[in-house]
Structure 1
Amino acid sequence: MSGVEIQSSLSNGNDKKEASHDDDIRHLRDWLPKQPHLPPITNEQLSTFLHACYYSLERTKKTIDQYYTVRAAVPELFSGCNPKKPEIQKVFDSVNFVRVPEVTPKGGFRIYFASLQNFEPANFDFENSLKAFIMMTDVNLMHETQVPGYVLVLDATGVCLGHIPRISIPMLKKFLIYVQEAMPIRLKQIHVINAQAIVDKIYAIAKPFLKGEIIEIIQFHKPGNMDTFYDCVSKDILPKELGGKSKTIETLHSENKRKVEDSTDYLQALEKTAKADESKRPGQPKGHGEIFGMEGSFRKLTLD
């Protein structure tokens, strides 16, 4: 696949020897002037992309291009990145976004956790929830640039049929393309816990936009069956509500929210600089169809 390589948690990837890292950076520095549509990129940023792509130069180039291209092409998710705006504050009051402080004992993977605070579908803002999640990851990637791997945990508690019409399929598709092909991370595991029957319907919506490598690392854990989850993620490092010894979800969410709010200047600067200029791309500019494929005429799901 192009973009960020996704591997199972049992794989060590195909990292090159550290000695070749400087050569890779020099190669990318020679390549960048031939990409006038891309913004200035620091050596530290190049290192982050290289690490995420297991030091494959070709994959790194594709991921860099896709990262800046998608961020320019989807203003709905990548503009107005001010976590203090009322609509984003409303998201933080209805959805938990948690960065677990401790990494997994095996692999040193960072865990991100998300769950609903407010179960009322009318209070679920799908688009701004995606934007808030992206802002959270942007801020944390600023502080942690070369994490061995990431584990995403989604708690489906409170998800019901009424949430489905609030999902924009085109926006979901764009978000998943960004996560799978552009984010400079090594995604190792995805767990959906408390996965009641409605999760199957939501998964069916998302599955056409998921790459095979992603599908292989998704695990569903039914309500009351956390043992299968604990087999993959160390119980002790999890928040208290999940049986662990860490802080509560509420406390961790509040800390993460404050961290994102304190990074408002960084996020707004990133919004201005982290995007491609298609008018300067060598050859033909990339259109929406080339980046995301056909979107169709629908905007939201219905329950007809």
Structure 2
Amino acid sequence: MKDTTMLSCMDDLPSIQIGDDILRFELDPLNEFGKEVAQKELRETNEIKTQALEDLKQLLKEEEDLLVPLDNNEWLIRFLRPCKFYPESARDLIKRYYNFKVKHADMYNGLIPSKEENIFRSNILVVFPNRDQLGRRILVIELGKRWKHKEVCLDEVFKGCVIFLEAAMLEPATQVHGAVVIFDMDGLSLQQTWQFTPQFAKRIVDWLQDAVPLRIKAIHIINQPKIFQVVFALFKPFLREKLRSRIIFHGTDRQSLHNHMSPKCLPPCYGGTLSEPRINGDQWYVLLLKCDKEYEAINSYGYNKNGTKKK
């Protein structure tokens, strides 16, 4: 049974026309490659999936303070896939996901695309319309010369990332293949480094390590000047080995980046051969605007600020 409030905006498969292309969320069932990866890497078979769903529902029923859509299998699978269909791990991820939202309620309360126009119009946060050679979504964050830090604060950048990754969680292919993040730090200035604080660094790292129900497969740092070392020093104490091992520094060495990401899935500015035009943040914003109701549904679940079940 589908939770009709949970996928309200997705029922019409919102999309926007950009030239000859259509920009939309990819909600199609897994293709054969996706099914193969799911089975090989995530233990996903019909038998395991059916049993895991049943067990996870029972475990969540025991969480009396947590409101979740127990009758929505698609929602439950979003958490089972990154946990390789181990029900106890998925339950714990769900609890961490919602506890993080309570802890950082100032970031999450009422978080919907229509309230975050500034970050998307700034065009420093974009998702490529294509995937990489392994089927992963590609998120690019440009915090150098494109970033006008007096107009767009880091909290807005965080909210924009949350909105994008919440959307990515809806896509079966992204649930299975995961996502990669490119931080383009070209032109990072001293004044911009001052915007980073230990509190912000800890929030980002805690979010990525413990509270994102998505497989973050790699974080690529490119075009970073020497001053970036000051910024990374804030993040380093909070990193555990698993995430630390997935952060790769490339500088301006495009071959180093291409050792991890095929040039065929990268634009010329990153030494790639991708001919598709860049999809800007404001273009994604037009699409995200159509999904406010979906984000309102997402916000309706979880714990209250005091850690009790939402009514």
| TM class, shorter-length | 0.7 to 0.9
Which residue, 129, 144, 155 being the options, matches 1:127? Answer: 155
Residue-by-residue CA offset, 1:38-65 (whole Å, 9 max, x unaligned): 1123221211111011223332121111
Distance, in Å, in 1 between the alignment partners of 2:273 and 2:93 is 35
Distance, in Å, in 2 between the alignment partners of 1:272 and 1:172 is 27
Identity %: 22
Distance 1:119 1:261, change over 3 A: same
Match of 2:114 in 1: 84
Match of 2:198 in 1: 169
Match of 1:298 in 2: none
Residue-by-residue CA offset, 1:188-221 (whole Å, 9 max, x unaligned): 1110111221221111111112221010011111
Is it true that 1:255 corresponds to 2:266 in the alignment? no
Shift of 1:140: 2.8
Which residue, 52, 62, 69 being the options, matches 1:24? Answer: 52
Give matches, 1:1-304, under 5 Å: 13=41, 15=43, 17-41=45-69, 42-85=72-115, 88-105=116-133, 107-116=134-143, 118-144=146-172, 146-223=175-252, 225-242=253-270, 243-249=272-278, 251-275=279-303, 278-280=306-308
Residue-by-residue CA offset, 1:65-123 (whole Å, 9 max, x unaligned): 101111122122212313333xx322223342222222222x32221111146344323
Worse-matched range after superposition: 157-166 or 108-117: 108-117
Residue-by-residue CA offset, 1:140-183 (whole Å, 9 max, x unaligned): 32244623221111111121211122124223312321221121
Distance, in Å, in 1 between the alignment partners of 2:89 and 2:213 is 11
Letter in 1 for 2:160: A
Contact 2:123 2:282 in 1 (8 A): no
Distance, in Å, in 2 between the alignment partners of 1:246 and 1:71 is 39
Distance, in Å, in 1 between the alignment partners of 2:123 and 2:281 is 9
Note the residue ranges of structure 2 that are not aligned, 5 or more in a row: 1-39
Note the residue ranges of structure 1 that are not aligned, 5 or more in a row: 1-11, 282-304
TM-score, normalization: structure 2? 0.77
Describe the SS at the equivalent of 1:37. coil
Letter in 2 for 1:268: E
Aligned residues: 266
Describe the SS at the equivalent of 1:213. helix
Shift of 1:274: 4.1
